Structure 1
Amino acid sequence: MQLDLQPELPAYIGIDPAHVRLVRSDADAQQALAALLAADVIGFDTESKPTFAKGEVSTGPHLVQLATDDFAFLFQTATPAGNALAFTVLEPVLASGSILKVGFGLGDDVKRLKSKFGIELRHVLDLSTALRRRGEKNPLGAKSAVERFFGQRLQKSKRITTTNWSLPHLSDKQLQYAADDAHAALRIYRRWKTETPAV
């Protein structure tokens, strides 16, 4: 009996590493702010150092990712200096009612940003529920969405997901993973809107 095995999907090609910007200075922050405020929609995600001990409260997010169509901006928030630098960009962008923020499973991200920065996020769309088809009960994840809209496989390494995001120096793999999370959400949103008839 021959098994009918589906061929493995091609890997998702993420954002060009040359277009990933780690915001480390006031000049970086001003460039990021200008690009983000000029966008109609941005991809959004956060990463936090995992908590393993019972009762341990997360001090995250330790990394915040915001993506335009062309760039992904990453903000490290594990230190007071990083917090202050990130806040100059995050507050006007995330509290804006004219910029739509899109991402997957944003409940914890929104709560942690409010707790850490006091920012009330406005104009947010959680694609996990927005992209759910009629009759589907479970939220849609980024991996499933990439498969549905692009016919590709988004790598979600548990080793990277559960890594220490509060480290002062993140690896190239961490930076790429984080940038792709935000940028892929924006790409999926754009594709979805082109395929959805206007009402």
Structure 2
Amino acid sequence: MLPESLPPAAAEPELPPYEGVSIGDIVLVVSPHGAAEAREALLAEDVIGFDTESKPTFRKAEVSTGPHLIQLATESRVYLFPVGQLPEDHGLKAILESKRILKVGFGLGSDLAQLHARLQIEARNILDLSRALRSEKPGQTLGAKTAVAQFFGRRLQKSRRTTTSNWANPRLTERQMLYAANDAHVALRVYRAALLCDPRLQERHRAGREVRQADLPHSPD
């Protein structure tokens, strides 16, 4: 059951579309300079949006070689890391394995397993909003589209054609970049909105802030 302060979700087709980020808010991390910028910005945050994309598999028993794209979002920027073009010092391990930065996203189970298998990254301090947020229907997880409708009264548009596109392509289209960026950014926005009315998330956020403060270097007396 959702917190009482949340309005009931309207029928999704009747809702206005969710605006999302613009292409100017997206940074494609394919150079050492871009990686340094991304690392500095992301390590300064207490919470970031997180998602990955993988080239789909269509044949039975075909094994995915993903992730092919990793998306990390702050309030103002979304950093896209194409795995096949990562600069040597990309900083993903430091960011995703940080215990003080909370990474929030939807349906992250397979994302975490693929990260470990392909990049040997053991992501820490992860919050899967699909499980953390309460669905109106008992026993069901809450997806990004439903969460956007309930928290913002908007319709998150998900194109199946883009979802199943080739995320391993060395040149992503603008449509792919916007789709991927919004997946991570909307998770961060939903988390921030949920903090206003969910005591369980508030408690976790406070605990994380204490860890963050404890990890900061102390000035000498």
> Which of 183, 187, 198 is residue 196 of structure 1 equivalent to?
198
2:164 is the counterpart of 1:162: yes
Identity %: 53
> Which of 36, 46, 51 is residue 40 of structure 1 equivalent to?
46
2:106 is the counterpart of 1:89: no
Q: Counterparts in 2 of 1:66-145, with a 5 A limit? A: 66-77=72-83, 79=84, 82-85=85-88, 88-133=90-135, 136-145=138-147
Count the aligned residue pairs: 191
The two structures have a TM-score, normalised by structure 2, of 0.82
Return closer, same or farther for 1:95/1:107 CA change in 2, 3 Å cut-off.
same
Measured after TM superposition, the shift of residue 195 of structure 1 is: 2.1
User: Using the alignment, how far apart are the partners of 2:37 and 2:82 within structure 1?
Assistant: 16
User: Using the alignment, how far apart are the partners of 1:17 and 1:104 within structure 2?
Assistant: 22
CA contact (8 A) 2:50 2:184 kept: yes
Match of 2:66 in 1: 60
Q: Deviations over 1:22-43 (max 9, x none)?
A: 1110000000000000000000
Q: Mind listing any 5+ residue stretches in structure 1 that lack a counterpart?
A: none
User: Using the alignment, how far apart are the partners of 1:135 and 1:177 within structure 2?
Assistant: 27
SS of residue matched to 2:165: coil
Q: Mind listing any 5+ residue stretches in structure 2 that lack a counterpart?
A: 1-9, 204-221
User: Using the alignment, how far apart are the partners of 2:182 and 2:73 within structure 1?
Assistant: 9
Moved over 6 A (4+): none
Match of 2:185 in 1: 183
Q: Deviations over 1:48-87 (max 9, x none)?
A: 000011211111000000001110000101x3xx2454x6
